[in-house]
Amino acid sequence: MKRLNSQLQADGCPLELILLIRTLLAACKEISFRVSQGALAGVLGSTLSENVQGETQKKLDVISNRIILDTLRESGYVKAISSEEEEKVVGCNPEGKYLVSFDPLDGSSNTEINSLIGTIFSISHAPQWMDADDPAAFLQPGSQQVAAGYVLYGPSTMLAMTTGRGTHLYTLDKTHGGFLVTQANIQVPQDTAEFAINSSNQRHWQEPMQRYVADLLAGTEGPRGKDYNMRWVAAMVGDIHRVLCRGGIFAYPFDKRNPKTPGKLRLLYEANPMAFLMEQAGGLASTGNGRIMEIMPQEIHQRVPVILGSKNEVEACLEYYK
């Protein structure tokens, strides 16, 4: 099996980006170990504080955020960091060439039930004329990403990553500590009979999503003419991994409860990296009104609606928005 370095070199990655990715993955391997220890290490449960999103922090949220922050700061390759758990941009090396955005532990509430969780990351070039702690450096569309991916902490620790030359899946070989390519250039099936959405929010969706899901649930008797299955992991990394591997559509649509935050998922470190992965695997990623990776961010914690997955199914969903 091909090793991580070999695949990145084959994809034409510059040396500094390869070294940065390896550094980031070293932090993820440490998180993987902490997660695997669970209650034995006393890392489960919540803290007494909230993050900038107003969400109660889990102990593993704080631990994972600190591991990645400290590792990237020491690397020298990173100019600045934005994290779900940090209110402001964290300046690092003023001479660093890259910006890194991440969700240190997506789906952290799943730690209590030993279910899927993961780390999502996005890497882009750092504007050299800006200060290291200037949040404006991060206000780039997702099309400017040079690498993105997630590490899934499941029965095995897996990495899904793209550097713009296809989406590859890697598995952590714990016998030697390296990530090995287990599926190169994965392609998402264009058609599907699976959808992932939090149906408990149905009453808050816009009318197009209401009609689309109603037609899916109508099955063979409805206008879509086939039966659909719903799957929901309650961790974006878990649902997106399933879609990458066997097709499907994932949606966290516009929610009218709070017009100021119409989506739940954050653009910089959730929607953009997942959209990059999906498009490089032949899928589509939209807000319902346009391509996710064309959005010009207004601030680092901006939220957006998300619809992504199998090409033909996403296109069918978007027809309801026309």
Q: Is the Cα dihedral 27, 241, 266, 51 positive or negative?
A: negative
Nearest to 82 by CA among 22, 37, 140, 169: 140
3-state secondary structure 106-117: ECHHHHHHCCCE
With a CB cutoff of 8 Å and minimum separation 6, the contacts of 164 are 11, 145, 146, 147, 276, 280
d(CA 150, CA 121): 6
Confirm or deny that 221 is annotated as ligand binding: no
Q: Is 103 annotated as a binding residue?
A: yes
Instruction: Give the separation between CA 90 and CA 101, rounded to whole angstroms.
Output: 10
40 labeled part of a ligand binding site: no
User: 49: buried, middle or exposed (CB in 10 Å: 19+, 13-18, 0-12)?
Assistant: exposed
Give me the residues paired with residue 251 across strands: 307
Q: Which helix (H) or strand (E) holds 46?
A: strand 46-50
264 annotated as ligand-binding: yes
Q: Is 270 annotated as a binding residue?
A: yes
109 annotated as ligand-binding:
yes
What residues contact residue 85 under an 8 Å CB cut-off, 6+ apart? 51, 52, 57, 61, 62, 65, 104
Rounded CA-CA distance 252/142 in Å is 18
Binding positions are: 84, 103, 105-109, 198, 264, 270
Binding positions for Mg(2+) are: 84, 103, 105-106, 270
Binding positions for substrate are: 106-109, 198, 264
